[in-house]
Structure 1
């Protein structure tokens, strides 16, 4: 723990749903320096909230309860909101299934406390040994979801989007419209999209996950299509907001002209190919060039715009300015 970290109050938020067999060990492993713990009983059928209150008497644990199940995202929003209203500076989300080592907590908190990031998240892909331990289905699913998240969120340098070990400066959380954040398993990916809209700095934290006898509720084959639709929707909204409403640059024109040229070249070429095959009208060299050239130029424009987008990732932490503003005014 750094000196700057000591000056920040830290809360841990744990979503609790069918984690009764593991939650006591998770609570016991949380560092003593943590100022408060919020456990969110997400309408757990095992009544994990009651169990936590029994085993955590005398500790800094607050149990929050949902009458109806809201999903991991809904539980996290409840926990973050409670921590923010209680006056904490930084909140760390740890799952209650024992897959995450609470002793790694300060690796996530230190970059935020030192002003290097607004939001940190775990990345299990840094170490090849960690990748080798990961179930193959999860590895395949995370690879697909990882690229979709990069495209929709604008954080091209982050990986492992479904990793639930994360931390956020609560002044940045307060900037987010929590009513629009996905309450389901799309929560972590949707959070990145929302963070980009407020230009928050996100940093990956290398870590190793533990896989024991816990049962994951995340089924790749069930969430792949909803995730694809969600990422497509977020990508469209991000490009419109960042490149046409909040700012307008050369990349904005490239994002418009590139697809138009590709579509024109594709349709023009397909039509003359049809005339050549069905009607017997041979395509001239000029027609071939008129089909190929717009597609080549359009592809180059899109690649140039994406390169600009990759280099347009937020680099200055937002919470530094929020804190400075509150002191000055």
Structure 2
């Protein structure tokens, strides 16, 4: 049985073509971590066998995938193993050396103090460090950050694709593992799922190291696959948070606002086309009848956004879950 005073900390490292960096990553993990799960995601370089042959750290457990499942699938396998091993907090750390393992205490501190359920890295705190970020990554992260704010409901975070994360085991147990994306959309999908639980997410300042690693995240993927999934998650979040689990004034404001904008816009366009067809000026009264519902609709949509921004979760759910347990 775990010591109730000292939480059991685990690290999950998904591995795919990281044999040049993985041993240094493991060596950099401090003594505050009790378990390290290395997930060989059908790596062509056989990362798992490489770690077995060259790593003597007794905390390391290697898990092999028979098929490549993507970074999300590898992390989920590590999460399952960490939960089975009794972990209280699970860190996700990449094996390519871009994440400083010395920051692990910073990531777990807000969770240990009961201020957060999930923490994630943010490389945008230090403006000087941003200059070191490749332009493509900088642009992609800026676009994704805004889209993720809208789809996930976490308006106070940035750098959503940052894979340096920590999560409390009680929050993790309530996530639908089978529904979370197993590919590059994993981090963004995690945020959406956490918001449906009303989990508290906190950004942790960090610097990024860019060496000879090549990012597999393409702009085309952001524009096509990611955008479609973000739109899907946005509408799911609206349904879950504003209609299925709760009803509020915002539940009325958004559909009413959208309806007024569409009604006013359709009315205005129809009369504009009709006036153009008969070559006459549109009466001022007709213009006002089109503009008024549009303006009212925009005001209602803005009111909904203000409510949504103010509704970012601030009370960690893992504390409430533990209080419900008889032996907590």
TM norm structure 2: 0.97
**2:233 matched residue in structure 1:** 234
TM superposition shift of 1:33: 2.3
SS in 2 for 1:133: coil
Aligned residue number for residue 250 of structure 1: 249
Do the aligned residues in 1 keep the contact of 2:163 with 2:187 (CA within 8 Å)? yes
Distance 2:163 2:114 in 1: 22
The residue number in structure 2 matching 1:164 is: 163
Of the structure 1 ranges 312-321 and 217-226, higher mean CA displacement relative to structure 2 is found in: 217-226
- 1:124 and 2:123 correspond: yes
> What's the counterpart of residue 33 of structure 2?
34
Q: Deviations over 1:4-50 (max 9, x none)?
A: 99721100000000000000110110002210000000000000000
Distance 1:6 1:224, change over 3 A: farther
CA-CA distance at 1:56 after TM superposition: 1.8
Deviations, residues 97-147 of structure 1 (Å, cap 9, x unaligned): 000000001100010011000000000011101211100000001111001
Give the structure 1 partner of residue 205 of structure 2.
206
- In the alignment of these two chains, the number of paired residues is 326
Does the Cα contact within 8 Å between 1:269 and 1:291 map onto a contact in 2? yes
Residue 328 of structure 1 and its aligned partner are, at CA, apart by 5.5
Structural mapping, 1:19-98, within 5 Å? 19-98=18-97
After TM superposition, where is structure 1 displaced by more than 6 Å over at least 4 residues in a row?
Answer: none
Aligned counterparts of 2:72 and 2:135: Cα–Cα separation in 1: 25
Q: Per-residue deviation at 1:222?
A: 2.9
Equivalence for 1:18: 17
* 1:176-223: CA deviation from partner (whole Å, max 9, x where unpaired): 111000000000000000000111000000110001112222222234
Partner of 1:148: 147
Taking the aligned partners of 1:170 and 1:33, their CA distance within structure 2 comes to 16
Does the 8 A contact of 1:109 with 1:167 survive in 2? yes
Segments of 5+ residues of structure 1 without an aligned counterpart are none
1 CA distance for matches of 2:93 and 2:242? 35
Partners of 1:85 and 1:266 in 2: how far apart?
56
Matched residue of 2:26: which SS? helix
Q: Following the alignment from structure 1 to structure 2, what is the Cα–Cα distance between the partners of residues 5 and 132?
A: 44
CA distance in 1, matches of 2:247, 2:13: 41
Report the aligned-residue RMSD. Answer: 1.4
What pairs with 1:253-272 in structure 2 (closer than 5 Å)?
Answer: 253-272=252-271
Partner of 1:217: 216
Distance 1:33 1:222 in 2: 37
Distance 1:52 1:328 in 2: 38
Kept in 2, the 8 Å contact 1:5–1:114? The answer is no
1:282-293 superposed matches below 5 A: 282-293=281-292
Q: Does structure 2 retain, via aligned residues, the 8 Å contact 1:5–1:113?
A: no
User: Taking structure 1 as reference, are residues 58 and 280 closer, same or farther at Cα in structure 2, changes over 3 Å only?
Assistant: closer
Q: Which runs of 5+ in 2 are unaligned?
A: none
Residues 176 and 194 in structure 1, CA contact (< 8 A), matched pair in contact too: yes
Output the CA distance in 2 between the equivalents of 1:8 and 1:295. Answer: 55
Aligned to 1:173: 172
**Cα shift at 1:54:** 1.4
Instruction: State how far apart, in whole Å, the 1-side matches of 2:55 and 2:123 are.
Output: 30
